[in-house]
Amino acid sequence: MYSRTQNENGTFNTRCLYCFRTIGIAVKEESELEIVEQAHMCPERALAQMLETSITEQTTHKPS
């Protein structure tokens, strides 16, 4: 999930809403934002996904 803003000069910034890092500054084309966002490796999101998977596995694989 990302927050995109447009600057006064027409360029764009994008910020990750998981780790709140600005991952794209003064990107010239809005279409380039998707490339920048897809390349972002968010440690907070990865950790959240690992924890969610672990919790799901624990609840679905309870011993009988």
> DSSP of 10-54, one letter per residue?
S-EEEEETTT--EEEEEES-HHHHHHHHHH---HHHHHHHHHHHH
Query: In terms of pTM, does the model score above 0.75?
Result: no
Q: For the segment 21-62, what is each residue's pLDDT rounded down to a tens digit?
A: 999 999 999 899 999 999 999 988 888 888 888 887 777 766
Residue 40: give the domain boundaries.
2-60
**Domain count of the fold of the chain:** 1
